[in-house]
Amino acid sequence: MKRAGQLMPSIITADNMRLAFLKTIRGKRHTHGVIAFEKNLDGNLRCLAEELHTCSRTWGPYHRFTIFDPKERIISVTPLGDRVTHHALMNGNRSRFFLIWSF
């Protein structure tokens, strides 16, 4: 397998970060965390991109809650910034993964 280099510039572009945010909030647009994040959207996305670029991103703690329908389950959710970061990383590497997995 060939090593792919210079991936970070394509991952931290403004368009990729905005696409990652839109993928993250799909179906969750009216939650408190999304509304708060969206108030300073460009600044928050720039901050996430800068943390990725400098490798200083610290991952937040999981938020856990219990649902009881149809049976009791414990749900663990990462902070919104972590989910946006995950989508940004996957968007930037998507074509490379498809080349490997689709023969």
The number of residues making up the chain comes to 103
Helix (H) or strand (E) holding 91: helix 80-101
Query: What is the per-residue pLDDT for 2?
Result: 62
Which pTM was predicted? 0.81
Query: What is the per-residue pLDDT for 9?
Result: 84
Task: State how far the Cα of 84 lies from the Cα of 17, in Å rounded to an integer.
Answer: 7
pLDDT along the chain (103 residues), means of 10: 72 93 94 94 96 92 93 94 93 66 55
